[in-house]
Amino acid sequence: MNVAVFGAGYVGLVTGAVLADLGHQVMLVEVDQDKIAQIRDGIPPIYEAGLAPLLRRVRDRAALEITDQPLVAVAEAEVVFIAVGTPPLPNGDADLRYVKAAALAIGRGLDGHHRRVIVNKATVPIGSANLVEVWIADGYREVHGEEPPAAWYTVASNPEFLREGSAVADTLYPDRIVLGADVPWAFTVLRELYRPIIEQSFEAPLETPRPRGLTQVPVMETGRVSAEMIKYAANAFLATKISFANEIANICERVGADVGEVMYGIGLDSRIGTRFLQAGVGWGGSCFGKDLSALVFTSREYGYVPEILEATAAVNARQRQRVVSLLQEELKPIHGRRVTIWGLAFKPGTDDLRDAPALTVIEALLRLGVRVTAYDPVAAENCRRQHPDWPLTYAPDPLAAAEGAEAVVLMTEWPQVREVDLERLAAVMRRPVLIDGRNVFDPAAARRAGFAYHSIGR
């Protein structure tokens, strides 16, 4: 099929590249000229496992193109994805200005040569499919002065469930595909688009091998509003699991239990499961906080107070402050101390700094007059570019970052950090204080190495 994708960020670029590799002809629509130039050169503008060889492959076959001209992309497209950013507004609602701009552009390029399915791929507030329909009609009316024929297009919801760091694998081998539409022919088109993934009939890329035993991907067909709600509910539940684990961790510390063992014990219950029960400094990234805020905002719009969701966000915010409190206790007075931060990205495997817990901690430490050295194998350059005014020192490896430090704080569990020898670490530090925000190290081993060691819930 001919496919257009508005937005070449995490979702749009990965979705477009995977569809192109599966045999579709894809055109990305992007306004950022630097991003356009990089993608044309086959260079991913984001760090994502498996994306670089995938992008080079589809570029060499001319299966993926990129343009800043929306009408060119819409002209031939049978399926048009809207995968632009929906950043949070100060009140918690999602900012739909980029979605609106894409929908207006699609409307301006609409014609009756063939039917089109317009797909909301970005996470958008409940009811956004209706808004996109209205905005598409507005764009068409700008050009033609009349309403577009209803038979020419339909708007569908197909939420993404990608994890940064494994977005290519999650696109090729999803747990499920959710399709939300109000007309039967939209389901037919989207099932055909995704048929290689549904049937797992493609040859798996060497860099992203197929999980053992995967032969079929379940597809759920539902209405548009339910599809939109599924995305928000999924992220809200995962965020709640993590905050629940952190709430239990804080109780464990007070009663003398080990949260790792407690979470393993409850995770063996098939009704609960072991995933997303790791205690630590909390979740971050572009999805959980934004989606949680948007769902709370929508709930309150309709007169309902979602107390569990609000508590989930509050517990997460408190976990970040706990790191600062531990440092204040160990290094009092903390002003002028030297602290090393291991990890800037919100999770390993990505260079994404959006809502990263490490940045919240760094900002608090800088306000307290702390001298901060940071190490991250991938995200350091992003941090330098996004926060040029921060007086940070960046180090090339974990031990270099810790040299002369009075405390090390582990915020992102990169493999390079996990492999650090604790005795060597203690030897290069001025004062051996280790705050393990991800419960990576064995407490007994850390204390044998001479550390004043703190983890979360152990």
Determine if residue 273 is labeled as part of a ligand binding site: no
Quote the tokens at residue 291.
Answer: 């989606």
Q: How many helices (H) and strands (E) does the chain have?
A: 19, 14
Q: In angstroms, what CA-CA distances link 207 with 24, 46, 169, 267, 272? A: 20, 17, 10, 31, 32
Q: Is 451 annotated as a binding residue?
A: no
199, 170, 135, 137: which is closest to 49 by C-alpha? 170
Give dist(CA 139, CA 21) in Å, integer: 32
Question: Distance between CA atoms of 26 and 138, rounded to whole angstroms?
Answer: 26
Name the residue among 273, 285, 2 with its Cα closest to residue 123.
285
Catalytic residue among 39, 181, 287, 392: 287
Was 123 annotated as part of a binding site? yes
Residue 8, C-beta contacts closer than 8 angstroms, at least 6 positions apart: 16, 28, 29, 30, 32, 35, 36, 39, 45, 66
| 386 annotated ligand-binding residue | no
Q: Is 287 a catalytic residue?
A: yes
Q: Annotation-wise, does 162 bind a ligand?
A: yes
Query: Does residue 456 sit in helix, strand or coil?
Result: coil
Angstrom CA distances, 142 to 114, 118, 146, 209, 426, stand at: 21, 19, 8, 47, 67
**Bond into 159 cis (ω within 30):** no
Instruction: Kindly list the distances between the CA atom of residue 44 and the CA atoms of 64, 155, 409, in Å, as whole numbers in the listed order.
Output: 13, 29, 30
User: 145 among the known binding-site residues?
Assistant: no
> Per the annotation, does 284 bind a ligand?
yes
Q: In this structure, what DSSP letter does residue 87 have?
A: P
Q: Any bridge partners for residue 339, and if so which?
A: 372, 407
> Is 350 part of any known ligand binding site?
no
The answer to the question of whether 163 is labelled as a binding residue is: yes
Residue 347 is labelled as binding a ligand: yes
Contacts by residues 380-387 (CB-CB < 8 Å, ≥ 24 positions apart): 380/344, 381/351, 382/344, 382/345, 382/351, 382/352, 382/353, 383/344, 383/353, 383/359, 386/353, 387/359
Is 223 assigned to a binding site?
Answer: no
Q: Is 290 annotated as a binding residue?
A: yes
Nearest to 11 by CA among 170, 195, 224, 176: 170
- Contact in structure between 13 and 51 (CB atoms under 8 Å): yes
343 known member of a binding site: no
Tell whether 277 is in a known binding site: yes
Is residue 200 within 8 A of residue 210, CB to CB? The reply is yes
Q: Tell me: is residue 312 an annotated ligand-binding position.
A: no
Does 35 belong to an annotated binding site? yes
Residue 280 annotated as binding site: yes
Torsion (CA) 295, 300, 302, 303 in degrees, nearest 10: 150
Binding residues: 35, 86, 123, 161-164, 231, 276-280, 284, 290, 347, 354
Q: Which residues are catalytic?
A: 287
Binding residues for substrate: 161-164, 231, 276-280, 284, 347
Binding residues for NAD(+): 35, 86, 123, 164, 290, 354
